[in-house]
Structure 1
Amino acid sequence: MSASSDDEDALIASLEATSENDPTLSALREKRIQALSSALSHQKSLRTEGFGTYCRITTEKSLLEITTSPTYDKCIVHFYKDDFNRCRIMDGHLGKLAEKHLEARFLRVEVEDAPFLVGRLGVRVLPCVIGFVGGVSAERVVGFEGLGGGDDFRTEVLEEKFVDVGVLERKTEVEGLGMGSGGHGERKQSGRNVGGDEDDDDWD
């Protein structure tokens, strides 16, 4: 059993114990437990489909299939180059958001692996992060433009840009409880911030 599963089970057990010790709150606690159990069950189901992880996609065909699939209505795609420092910084922020937002797929693709999409979407400066809803571009972050703080921008600022256009959702109290990283499937990226001195990179 994973650490996140242990945490979720412990949280439910705690709520059940509270209910037993305070009968006047029994009905309210029961509803709370049911809502939490339902939310956690849904989260586990989503993780089996690749949600909750930040995955590298290595072929353009796979990227197109995911971003246009009804199963993955909302996607955030990072077009990157591995040797660009700012791309590595962006990876760290997107990895955090992927763990938190199971309503969207978080993907990364090397620009050389997706020449058609790079040309079609006009990707010129890296990092370039595009949010898709129903296969249509809804938001684009080029370099660190609009994020504030230079290389030290806050993850929440990036998050808000995609929340504002409906690519990501604001988290409710239930959704925020018992959450763990726990993703499996395609290669999960660590998003390490490795030192370097690149600015926004015009890669072509």
Structure 2
Amino acid sequence: MESLIEQQLLQAAQVVEQQVDAEINRLESMDEDELEKIRERRVQAMKKAQVQKQEWISKGHGMYSELSSEKEFFDICKESKHVVCHFYKNSSFRCKILDSHLSTLAQQHCETKFIKLDVEKAPFLTERLGIRIIPTMAMVKDSKTQGYIVGFTDLGNCDDFSTEMLEWRLGCSEMVRYKGDLATPPDNRKASSSRPLTEKPKKTIRGREEDSEDSDYES
């Protein structure tokens, strides 16, 4: 079995090496005009990306903002392709944990609009979306709700998850452009590589329907 695996790895390495060699040969055989066309395409792509970024910024992307009304939520969802809305309560300390992470991600991912809305100021929207647990993040794409992140269950079921963990979860739903490995949660990778065998597990929170009083929402 080990010999078979070694052969497969060797074959895969050879294929990659052949592809790299072919690309190098292709680039070396290009004349100046072809290289200039490649450079021009790259410049145009960079200019296009910059224009897109400026358009996002003009719509308030790049910052984590609080909404003043339910109507504003619908206006933003019509204007921005990707929207992540944090439904929160001032009395929930876990909402404050999310605020910190979302503020960081808003600056890192201009392609997505990050907002927050107090559930006590949005009874119609809260009822319409079926929000019962706080915090809840609604993920909206093209004005349609794609799903929810309810509490911290999807984030390792603990209070001290990393910002990258939330970024990974949003990446799994294609709400942000995540550059890491979507197959494995980042906090799992870190834990498996650095946690001592005698280390106690992280403090977890209880399930959705049995969460603490500051995580249950009643209108």
TM-score (norm 1): 0.66
Partner SS for 1:107 = strand
Preserved contact between residue 80 and residue 111 of structure 1 (Cα < 8 Å): yes
Residue 55 (structure 2) pairs with residue 45 (structure 1): yes
CA distance in 2, matches of 1:159, 1:120: 26
CA distance in 2, matches of 1:72, 1:168: 13
Task: Tell me the C-alpha RMSD between the 2 structures.
Answer: 2.8
Q: Which one of 45, 60, 66 corresponds to residue 56 of structure 1?
A: 66
Q: 1:151 corresponds to which letter in structure 2?
A: D
Identify the structure with bigger relative contact order (alpha carbons < 8 Å, sequence gap 6+). Answer: 1
CA distance in 2, matches of 1:145, 1:74: 22
TM-score (norm 2): 0.62
1:66 Cα offset (Å): 1.6
Q: Which consecutive residues of structure 2, in runs of 5 or more, have no partner in the other structure?
A: 1-34, 181-210
| Mapping of residues 29-178 of structure 1, within 5 Å | 32=42, 34-67=44-77, 69=78, 71-148=79-156, 150-171=158-179
Q: Which residue of 1 aligns with 2:217?
A: 203
Q: Which consecutive residues of structure 1, in runs of 5 or more, have no partner in the other structure?
A: 1-25, 173-197
Preserved contact between residue 138 and residue 167 of structure 1 (Cα < 8 Å): no
Preserved contact between residue 167 and residue 178 of structure 2 (Cα < 8 Å): no
| Mapping of residues 10-29 of structure 1, within 5 Å | 27=36
1:78 Cα offset (Å): 0.4
CA distance in 2, matches of 1:150, 1:170: 22
Identity, % of aligned positions: 35
Q: How many aligned residue pairs are there?
A: 155
CA distance in 2, matches of 1:45, 1:128: 28
1:137 Cα offset (Å): 1.7
Q: 2:136 corresponds to which letter in structure 1?
A: C
Q: Which residue of 2 aligns with 1:6?
A: none
1:121 Cα offset (Å): 1.1
Bigger radius of gyration: 2
1:165 Cα offset (Å): 2.1
